[in-house]
Amino acid sequence: MTKVSLERLRFTGFHKSHVGAIRSCLEYWDIPVSAAWTYGITGNAFLSVVDEGMRAPNTGEPEAESYEAARLLGLKINGLHTFADQESFPRLQADAWQAARAALDRGLPVFAKDLDIGNETSVVYGYDETGYYTHSWHSGSGHEGAEQAIPWNMLGKSFCPCFSCARQRSGSPAIGSPSQAEERDDGLLVSLHWAEKTEPADDKTAIRTALDFALRHSARASYEWGGRRFYSGTAAIRKWKEHVQSETIECFYMGYYLDLFHESRHYAFLFWKEAGERIGGALTELFREAADQYGRIKDEYRALSGMFPWMQPRELLTDPDRRREALERLNRLESLEAGGYDMLEQIRDKL
């Protein structure tokens, strides 16, 4: 079989890789949307999600709803996003394989989760008789071998072909950034999607819908997904504080989560600046206040992220000085995030 390949489809590189996949599809279709607008209109600029043990970043996020929200930007996303039992897992893998080939044959961009890197979403730019070709965080220098095909029945098993991950699977230390496969539930989630162009919503409708989604998810506070408990909104910050106080979070995951939270609030800040330019009018002052609020929030996350730059060691955070400063900043962030949600509610109700 000849390799089918969409050479223009490449991963854009967001830490929240499912948002990066949406952004990659927008770029593939030449839809002129900024990174900040992508983050904001999918609601992800305002979401806070952590798991009970704070060991599963990029898991438990409302990804299916984010893909539905992409319609507001001009993307119609379809696909599979479901947990399987051991009996149905091979059938769902086969269904995804057939759907991916059909989509790529039509020139549609494809993306999948837990295909190469655990807990991460990668774009699928091609296939051959063996399996999928992906572009992800493990593409490029330091991850040689990532360009090889991934057998189609490895979807959901995080089978990155790069030499570093192959070493890790064999029991040798990884070289460079490791796969997160050891921190996930193996062989349960089947998640593969493809994207077509559609008509985007007008700006006011898009913002109102995005804020409604972000507020609803944040108000859940606690929920089950995939056999784990997750926390959202300010409850996520409180859970984070508990782990810092009890010395039960690894420095590695402090850095990982901070990268995710800083990225999202950085784009929240830029989103409100862009909203003021795109809409303005009677909402100009409220958008400016929202930009100021999220500017303060992203600055706190940036300072915390500077304390735990990538990549931190796999050891518990026990240093008293780092813990004290982290708790002080997380306390401020709990208050700032609560104020941010109040502001989102005001804006939604005025649109």
- Residue ranges, CATH 1.20.120, the chain: 203-350
Confidence of residue 145 (pLDDT cuts 50, 70, 90): confident
Would you list the DSSP string of 138-158?
Answer: TSSTT-TTTTS-EEGGGTTS-
DSSP type of residue 128: -
What pLDDT is recorded for position 137?
84
Confidence of residue 236 (pLDDT cuts 50, 70, 90): very high
What pLDDT is recorded for position 186?
46
What pLDDT is recorded for position 286?
97
Nearest to 244, CA basis, from 232, 231, 235, 254: 254
Q: What residues form DSSP beta bridges with 78?
A: 194
Q: What is the mean pLDDT of residues 257-274?
A: 99
Nearest to 39, CA basis, from 4, 70, 85: 70
What pLDDT is recorded for position 174?
55
CATH number for the domain whose boundaries are 203-350: 1.20.120
Confidence of residue 319 (pLDDT cuts 50, 70, 90): very high
Q: What is the mean pLDDT of residues 65-76?
A: 99
What pLDDT is recorded for position 166?
84
Q: What is the mean pLDDT of residues 20-45?
A: 98
Task: Indicate if the pLDDT at residue 171 is higher than 80.
Answer: no
What mean pLDDT is reported for the chain? 94
Task: Indicate if the pLDDT at residue 307 is higher than 60.
Answer: yes
* Radius of gyration, alpha carbons of the chain: 20
Task: Indicate if the pLDDT at residue 181 is higher than 50.
Answer: no
Range of lowest pLDDT (71-85, 168-182, 241-255, 336-350)? 168-182
Task: Supply angle C-alpha 296, 326, 241, rounded to 5.
Answer: 100
What pLDDT is recorded for position 173?
60
Residues 351/204, Cβ–Cβ less than 8 Å: yes
Task: Indicate if the pLDDT at residue 182 is higher than 50.
Answer: no
What pLDDT is recorded for position 168?
83
- Whether the upstream peptide bond of residue 307 has omega within 30° of 0, thus cis, is no
Nearest to 55, CA basis, from 316, 327, 324, 344: 316
Nearest to 105, CA basis, from 2, 234, 242: 2
Range of lowest pLDDT (53-67, 167-181, 206-220)? 167-181
How far apart (Å, rounded) are the C-alpha atoms in residues 225 and 222?
10
Task: Indicate if the pLDDT at residue 178 is higher than 70.
Answer: no
Query: Global pTM?
Result: 0.95
Q: Which residue has the higher pLDDT, 79 or 183?
A: 79
Q: What is the mean pLDDT of residues 156-174?
A: 83
Q: Which two tokens stand for residue 261?
A: 């939270």
